[in-house]
Amino acid sequence: MNPFSSGTRLRDMIRSIRACKTAAEERGVVRKECAEIRASINENDPHDRHRNLAKLMFIHMLGYPTHFGQMECLKLIASPGFPEKRIGYLGLMLLLDERQEVLMLVTNSLKQDLNHTNQYVVGLALCALGNICSAEMARDLAPEVERLIQFRDPNIRKKAALCSTRIVRKVPDLAENFINAASSLLKEKHHGVLITGVQLCYELCKINDEALEFFRKKCTEGLIKTLKDITNSAYQPEYDVAGITDPFLHIRLLKLLRVLGQGDADASDLMTDILAQVATRTESNKNAGNAVLYECVETIMAIEDTSSLRVLAINILGRFLSNRDNNIRYVALNMLMKAIAFDDQAVQRHRVTILECVKDPDASIRKRALELVSLLVNANNVKQLTKDLIDYLEISDEDFKEDLSEKICSIVDKFSPEKIWYIDQMLKVLSEAGKFVKDDVWHTLIVVISNASELHGYTVRALYKAVLTYSEQETLVRVAIWCIGEYGDLLVNNVGMLGIEDPVTVTECDAVDVIEDAITRHNSDMTTKAMALVALLKLSSRFPSISERIKDIIVKQKGSLLLEMQQRAIEFNSILDRHINIRSSLVERMPVPDEAASRARRSGSLPASDSTMSKPSVSIPNGVTAAPLVDLLDLDSDDILAPPTSSGVDFLQDLLGVDLGSSPAQSGATPPPKAGTDLLLDILSIGTPSPAQNSASSIDLLSTADTLSSPAPSSIATTAPSGMFDLLDGLSPSPSKQATNGPAYPPIVAYESSSLKIEFSFSKMPGNPQTTNVQATFINLSPNTFTDFIFQAAVPKFLQLHLDPASGNILSASGKVTQNLRVTNSQHGKKSLVMRMKIGYRVNGKDVLEEGQINNFPRGL
């Protein structure tokens, strides 16, 4: 020990760090040591460098930053002594990684060390290079390494071989240079060199096709002979592991043979003997033997077909599968997945065992087995398999339920032979694992249900029974609510009974009970509750006798703290109160969505529902915008409302949202547009199935007035959320060419029909060119009186519209009503005004709707 050395020895430092009781204490000790080391570094004293570096490495392993030590590594490597170099290279490999530029500085030292006289120094350099060299260093030093592959000492040869492996991985272009050197290594006797040489050849074959051809032609036979020798060799204590001589060498050779035989019938032919020999004669009671067998099976599977070998391989896998050792079973499951590709039958024979593995207590095995099972499914065994899997679903752990239910759903989806079976299985899955089931799964289920019209009765009864027992599975409840809402009459009247069903009497009260329960249960989430309200509305039409009760439930929700619920409750209540006549057309049966289209959309779409959630906020009166349910809210509300147009939209989301306002008669029920359809028409029709209802809801939202006589047309269509209005721009022809760019704008006839004429006259505020005041005059051209007159308008995104209350809403024959509008054009000067409008009124006891587009605004407004 150098008497002049200062500072603690490595051992002492480690001891003192380990003696620390708290993290803070440890930090203190480490800080002190780092300070000493830094001081020592500054002194540039060569004696303590290696001890300092050793300490730094320990500190680094604890997780502290040690950048200041990097240059020390370089200095140590540059020192002449072996111990310094040894620790210097170790420090280099530990403290630096290949991405750091400091590494480049080592290149020169490495080059010198690769040419050192002491072979152990050469070994150090090769090791360091092989572990962390970057691509540039690889390029620089490749010639040296290549030369060293032929060095006299086997220790260096094997290191050089592995170092070359890294070089060709980093710089594949250099592969050609190593081919010859590598092939010479294959003739070695020394195991270490042989292993590394085989590894190098393997890498070369993977990277470079020329190399592959070369080795295939020249070396296959030699390799086979080597493998034969080693398999048949006598006991060698140095290399023996569990009765096998050098299993590592076996495995490397088998791997290389695999690459050589793959895709080449001749090479594969040559190998069959030795592969059969290895497969049959290797002992498989220890891990080493099994490792060799595993590799052998992999090779057999990969090379060109000789069916007897394959049978042998699958038998081995079958044996593995029933091994008690978990590792072996895992490996077998892995391999069987590959085996399915070419011999499905053989693997099917093991189906029962594989199913057992799905229930294994080990999570890794369960996962593998499940994947394998899903590959095994075909039309014949799907029913049995699904039954087994669902049985297991009931008893499996929570964390596995998710994977399992997903797999079951996809199996059922792909292979279901008939709709009724599909529905049955999905019901079972939802009952057991509903909360893990993703949205598009149950959406698809609903699509399928509505397409299977003959099964509506059966489905709704089954759902009713299920939801009584499994009411905590959210998705099940949702599907059930939807179905009961839609097909409630079938449920109650036992329509469409199938032979297999037991008769069940469900009264209207029972059905409503279920739904009420869903609303009032405290752990239902928003979607469920909202859907429940919709279902209630439907039922109020289908079950007129308990309409009162339904109304009560809805009224109770008017005071709900959830905005969505409140809005829906208020709207539905007003339908029930005032618009009882349109209720039945509102809630007629949903039009059946196209199954194929929904499937295509589902498979082509992005993570569906999320895309609808990212809509910009909509101005809702309360100012609350939060939840994703805002989308549904939007679709309900009369305002604005462009239902999302991205193709990633979840199909049913539209339906659910649209559901409220839809009636089959209107095209609004179909999901919005494919380009080409009339966008704005849909907006208005979706949002406002009838002007009367519309005005009612807007009244309730904005004011306390109860009568229809004072409509408060809210600012419709201010912030249109989607690009639909931009499309609108495209749709509408550019506004009238009667461009009068002067400040005086002539009045226009905005709309004229046989019964109604609308005139607009314009004025602008001085100093505010973007805003235009429009006075609209509505003239009744018919001999009848119009009551409940309402004018609504929608404008594209770049315009803002404000409607003042109309002067009245009764137009007598040839009477007039005026209304003021204010339009602000953010693209004033660039784009002209354009507007769509809708007029509703009542004449002779009938509701009338008129719509039109106003394109003839004077330019410059």
Among the listed ranges 156-164, 478-486, 618-626, 639-647, the one in contact with another protein (CB under 8 A) is 156-164
Give the shortest CB-238-to-another protein separation in angstroms.
5
Among the listed ranges 26-34, 162-170, 430-438, 495-503, the one in contact with another protein (CB under 8 A) is 162-170
Classified as helix, coil or strand, 846 is strand
- With respect to another protein, which residue has the nearer C-beta, 251 or 633? 251
Among the listed ranges 70-78, 250-258, 414-422, 571-579, the one in contact with another protein (CB under 8 A) is 250-258
- With respect to another protein, which residue has the nearer C-beta, 212 or 331? 331
Cα 260 from chain centre: 39
Q: How many whole angstroms separate alpha carbon 126 and alpha carbon 145?
A: 8
Task: Count residues binding another protein (CB under 8 A).
Answer: 75
Cα-Cα-Cα-Cα torsion 275, 276, 277, 282, nearest 10 degrees, comes to: 90
The residues in 485-544 that bind another protein, with binding defined as CB under 8 A, are none
C-alpha triplet 540, 461, 666: angle, nearest 5°: 45
Q: Which of 165, 605, 755, 853 binds another protein (CB under 8 A)?
A: 165
The residues in 219-238 that bind another protein, with binding defined as CB under 8 A, are 238
Answer yes or no whether residue 182 interacts with another protein by CB under 8 A: no
- With respect to another protein, which residue has the nearer C-beta, 114 or 162? 162
Give the shortest CB-90-to-another protein separation in angstroms.
6
Classified as helix, coil or strand, 164 is helix
The residues in 117-146 that bind another protein, with binding defined as CB under 8 A, are 118, 120, 123, 126-127, 130-131
Q: What is the DSSP string of 629-649?
A: THHHHHHHSSS-------TT-
Report strand pairing: 748-752 vs 816-825.
unpaired
Q: List Cβ neighbours of 717 (8 Å cut-off, separation of 6 or more).
A: 639, 640, 683, 793, 794, 795, 801
Answer yes or no whether residue 290 interacts with another protein by CB under 8 A: yes
For residue 268, the one-letter residue type is S
Answer yes or no whether residue 33 interacts with another protein by CB under 8 A: no
The residues in 594-623 that bind another protein, with binding defined as CB under 8 A, are none
C-alpha triplet 83, 85, 90: angle, nearest 5°: 100
Give the shortest CB-8-to-another protein separation in angstroms.
13
Q: Which of 88, 247, 721, 735 binds another protein (CB under 8 A)?
A: 247
- With respect to another protein, which residue has the nearer C-beta, 128 or 720? 128
- With respect to another protein, which residue has the nearer C-beta, 59 or 477? 59
The residues in 295-324 that bind another protein, with binding defined as CB under 8 A, are 295, 298
- With respect to another protein, which residue has the nearer C-beta, 2 or 741? 2
Q: Which of 122, 138, 195, 429 binds another protein (CB under 8 A)?
A: 195
Answer yes or no whether residue 4 interacts with another protein by CB under 8 A: yes
Answer yes or no whether residue 288 interacts with another protein by CB under 8 A: yes
Give the shortest CB-357-to-another protein separation in angstroms.
11
Classified as helix, coil or strand, 268 is helix
- With respect to another protein, which residue has the nearer C-beta, 190 or 556? 190
- With respect to another protein, which residue has the nearer C-beta, 245 or 690? 245
Answer yes or no whether residue 75 interacts with another protein by CB under 8 A: no
Classified as helix, coil or strand, 820 is strand
Answer yes or no whether residue 246 interacts with another protein by CB under 8 A: yes
Answer yes or no whether residue 98 interacts with another protein by CB under 8 A: yes
Answer yes or no whether residue 88 interacts with another protein by CB under 8 A: no
Classified as helix, coil or strand, 790 is strand
Among the listed ranges 81-89, 679-687, 802-810, 813-821, the one in contact with another protein (CB under 8 A) is 81-89
The residues in 367-426 that bind another protein, with binding defined as CB under 8 A, are 367
Range list of β-strands (E), 739-845:
748-752, 756-764, 771-780, 787-794, 799-803, 816-825, 835-843
Among the listed ranges 62-70, 380-388, 639-647, 776-784, the one in contact with another protein (CB under 8 A) is 62-70
Answer yes or no whether residue 155 interacts with another protein by CB under 8 A: yes
DSSP alpha helix (H) spans, 133-208: 135-148, 154-170, 175-185, 191-207
Answer yes or no whether residue 68 interacts with another protein by CB under 8 A: no
Answer yes or no whether residue 580 interacts with another protein by CB under 8 A: no
Q: Which of 199, 282, 690, 819 binds another protein (CB under 8 A)?
A: 199
Q: How many whole angstroms separate alpha carbon 774 and alpha carbon 837?
A: 14
Among the listed ranges 68-76, 96-104, 426-434, 568-576, the one in contact with another protein (CB under 8 A) is 96-104
- Length, in residues, of the chain: 861
Q: How many whole angstroms separate alpha carbon 279 and alpha carbon 297?
A: 8
- With respect to another protein, which residue has the nearer C-beta, 165 or 698? 165
Among the listed ranges 88-96, 350-358, 445-453, 472-480, the one in contact with another protein (CB under 8 A) is 88-96
Give the shortest CB-101-to-another protein separation in angstroms.
13
Give the shortest CB-648-to-another protein separation in angstroms.
26
Q: How many whole angstroms separate alpha carbon 461 and alpha carbon 502?
A: 10
Q: What is the DSSP string of 41-71?
A: HHHT-STTHHHHHHHHHHHHHHT---GGGHH
Give the shortest CB-6-to-another protein separation in angstroms.
14
Give the shortest CB-361-to-another protein separation in angstroms.
7
For residue 724, the one-letter residue type is M
Answer yes or no whether residue 191 interacts with another protein by CB under 8 A: yes
Q: Please provide residue 851's backbone torsions phi and psi, each rounded to the nearest 5 degrees.
A: -135, 155
The residues in 8-27 that bind another protein, with binding defined as CB under 8 A, are 11, 14, 18
Among the listed ranges 195-203, 458-466, 626-634, 736-744, the one in contact with another protein (CB under 8 A) is 195-203
Give the shortest CB-131-to-another protein separation in angstroms.
6
Q: How many whole angstroms separate alpha carbon 438 and alpha carbon 440?
A: 6
Q: Which of 71, 363, 498, 665 binds another protein (CB under 8 A)?
A: 363
Sheet holding 846-854, edge to edge: 787-794, 835-843, 846-854
- With respect to another protein, which residue has the nearer C-beta, 155 or 775? 155
Answer yes or no whether residue 54 interacts with another protein by CB under 8 A: yes
- With respect to another protein, which residue has the nearer C-beta, 155 or 625? 155
Is residue 354 within 8 Å of 369, Cβ to Cβ?
A: yes
Q: How many whole angstroms separate alpha carbon 750 and alpha carbon 759?
A: 5
Answer yes or no whether residue 63 interacts with another protein by CB under 8 A: yes
Q: Which of 49, 216, 310, 329 binds another protein (CB under 8 A)?
A: 329
Q: List Cβ neighbours of 758 (8 Å cut-off, separation of 6 or more).
A: 749, 750, 751, 752, 776, 777, 778, 779, 791, 837, 839
CA distance to 448, 465, 679, 791, 827, per residue, from 725 (Å): 33, 46, 8, 20, 14
Q: How many whole angstroms separate alpha carbon 573 and alpha carbon 571?
A: 5
Answer yes or no whether residue 1 interacts with another protein by CB under 8 A: yes
Give the shortest CB-243-to-another protein separation in angstroms.
13
Q: Which of 86, 228, 558, 757 binds another protein (CB under 8 A)?
A: 86
Give the shortest CB-699-to-another protein separation in angstroms.
57
Q: How many whole angstroms separate alpha carbon 355 and alpha carbon 337?
A: 14
Burial call 496-507: b when 16+ CB within 10 Å, e when fewer = beeeeeeeeebe
Q: Which of 56, 59, 162, 699 binds another protein (CB under 8 A)?
A: 162
**How many Cα atoms are found within 13 Å in the side-chain-facing hemisphere of 624?**
13
> Which tokens is 3 given?
């008497």
Q: How many whole angstroms separate alpha carbon 508 and alpha carbon 513?
A: 8
Closest CA to 602 of 545, 638, 649: 649
